[in-house]
Amino acid sequence: MKKVVIHSDGGCHGNPGPGGWAAILAYAEHQRELSGGTPATTNNRMELQAAIEALGALKERCEVEFHTDSVYVKNGVSAWMSNWKRNGWKTKEKKPVKNEDLWKLLDAAVAKHEVTWHWLKGHAGHQKNERCDQLASAEIAKIKQAHSPAQLQELLLEFSAKDDAKESTGKLPGNRSEP
């Protein structure tokens, strides 16, 4: 089984706001950088998206050493997710898990590999983590260039309205497949 080392990061300008994610995958002497972004999102969603995209880029089952500066992602995968699943994607307070859509995608992506999760302090000089931060920030800059401030504000309002609806009902508006 191939051994792959992944570093990831996600971020937002404003939270919520325009966001970017990035990951670096390393196998033997090969390295691949991935990045993307969304005009209206949260920091946690971008951290999750980075992990999903990184694991999804692997073409076969791998042994993965995954490095993230997100306590949310690391603890979510290693400590919280099994309880959420057992409780029907509800917290111990019986509330819907925030970002359930992305947690489910990450759960499916993790299941395809043998993943060991590592937390590292962000902005502390870790070369690959710093590079991921640069890539994610570059994606945010692209989004800001491609959209006017008014467009970004409108997208943020739409995002916030969906988030508010999800908080109050436990479902995304228009999404009938969620319980």
What percent of the chain is predicted at pLDDT more than 90?
A: 85
Per-residue pLDDT of the chain (179 residues; tens, 9 = 90+): 999 999 999 999 999 999 999 999 999 999 999 999 999 999 999 999 999 999 999 999 999 999 999 999 999 999 999 999 999 999 999 999 999 999 999 999 999 999 999 999 888 889 999 999 999 999 999 999 999 999 999 999 999 888 766 655 454 444 333 22
Q: Which pLDDT belongs to residue 149?
A: 94
Catalytic residue list contains 69:
yes
Selected catalytic residue, list 9, 53, 139, 163: 9
Selected catalytic residue, list 53, 69, 100, 163: 69
Selected catalytic residue, list 7, 10, 11, 36: 10
> pLDDT digit string (tens) for 113-150?
999 999 998 888 899 999 999 999 999 999 999 999 99
Q: Which pLDDT belongs to residue 179?
A: 27
Selected catalytic residue, list 53, 100, 133, 139: 133
* DSSP secondary structure string for all residues of 36-96: EEEEEE-HHHHHHHHHHHHHHT-SS-EEEEEEES-HHHHHIIIIIHHHHHHTTSB-TTSPB
Selected catalytic residue, list 88, 114, 118, 123: 123
> pLDDT digit string (tens) for 85-96?
999 999 999 999
Instruction: Determine phi and psi for 42, rounding to 5 degrees.
Output: -120, 165
CATH of range 2-147; options 3.30.70.1730, 3.30.420.10, 3.40.50.1980, 3.90.1150.10: 3.30.420.10
Domain ranges of the chain: 2-147
